[in-house]
Structure 1
């Protein structure tokens, strides 16, 4: 049977369409809405939940257990442990001990020693007028107006012109004449805000329209690169999918940050308050104060049994008649032999001129300049002391020199720099000089 041409009207009529056999019956008709299962937008946003889930007793061992949003990361070993009450306090109570400033504070006087030191300090005028920890008392008699709450010292500041008026005086010109502005531009290079410096170059191009340099090349797909950088270049490495067995081995064989290593031994049978390691506070442990001052017993503070005599047979000093006041051995300070003018470094003798333990711990200020304490204690004539003070910028007149030297002779028996300075301070404390 011959088909009718498609341009004939009877071919598109209902009667003609129903009577003709349908070709390509598997193609979907045009204009009809089709629906395929599990491929809609709703299924992509809200996929169906799997019917089977991990049991609660096994879920804590999965890696996804600590990756849930908003969930606290808990080790699977303590996931089912009961929590302590809210009033429970972790750690151990700190034991009280001596404070640091009480332990290391040097020369701390207490008791009768402090009282005796206070009696000695009260003799000085500076201790009376300027007591430690309080301001100096001058015993001024202030008028009654000083004690009023609104009283203020000084003279009230009189208001004057503001800085703005001095910088921008009223009536001044805001704009300079054009000839003056050009003069400052030529001499000092002064330009207005935003004004371009003109050097009067002969440009081969129009400087107002020409642009120097090369333009940046246009980059295609800029938004796509910003949203999906893993598809373009090597900015971010692509995700690598490994087998689950490899990941389980890594999580078991390696330590997680902040978690103990899983040894497969289960939870140890120990009480809740058990702490591993040794305690910081040990029994009968000495404090810092005991380490510094010690804690000797009565037997340890007794003198040695061989003090003044020897316990070795055949080496004892037998006192004969007339030797009751005799001193055996060599004295520590060799006053029995003359001191040489130049002492050798190999000479082990002490002639009494060596520094004490206090001087070694707290050396004198003048030792750094090569001046020993003997220079201050050596007897000097009055004229030499006056020359030293004059060179130091402290001119002392003749009458003051005689009075201070007399007081220095009364204090120390000799006139030295140390006794002279002590006498001079005494006169200053009395307000006589």
Structure 2
């Protein structure tokens, strides 16, 4: 049976300072507190029949990874694989041993290294072996080369005399010797002109006064400079000079002329009286505006009117006039869309079923018992309303109840249903007609 207890909590908690505020999330118990939410329970173990499907089991250290389809299959009896026999080789201790200390050990090491090419060509303590067959005693008992008694000749200065003889008379330089050195070593004298022995008589050219190469008819000089700077060429047509008036005015005002004042663009200065004062006056004629006038302004009613294009688009083709009373944008309370079947904590949209600022600041007394506004606005059949009135100890006979219920059902637009809020409003209207009591709303 539907009673008033179904609208509130099962038990009343006197220690709860804000019982009208609903707890966030899904609550499994009515009296669940923050202590219960922060008290962690031990994590339950995975059932054995589901453990083989979990990744934590697959990656568990020390466990052989097997497919969950063959995880419970029994392993066949061993032994597994084929036996192998390894050949003993050189151990690490053999490589870590140093150079042998005994003669037998060193001789054995040399014999084992005789097979290397470096040991054959570059034996330890000997020169590079190139395979030459040197006669016996060559290089040790008798030297290489031919004996010329160089030390004795060097003491007698015979080597220097052979290279630069000084005991011969100086040779006189003649034309034939110089010509020979010019031809063999190109030994020209300083400043000497190279002559190739041309026969100028046959050509009819006097090299003393003849000028070789092409001769320009016009004596045109500084051609590259004039090509880069055409203004230096006086023979070329000069283009018309078009200067900016701004630059000319600046030049005219910034140039100082001897014996004249600088022209500042004010024209010819008239004859001023001796008591003339230049500059702007500090106090103009008429009353000056004060701080109040500057803050409030002195705009006329015409200037205070809004602009003609206020609220209108300045773009051509987009100046559609909106209908009167139209509100653009999305409303804050979305009563235009249906309420979702399942509510979520992350959903911040207000669908019109949440309390407003007045209810949050001054909540009704029924909130302390867990009864909210939606419970009063919920449509209920006639039997449920009768049972709630009876549980609330409201004295009302059957005729009065039927009359008030019919009035509330007509106000809600239902035939056999009404909400509690409409029912009690209808009851106040009925009391105002019977006992002349003013309606409190």
- TM-score, reference length from structure 2: 0.23
Bigger Cα Rg: 2
Greater RCO (CA < 8 Å, at least 6 residues apart): 2
- TM-score, reference length from structure 1: 0.23
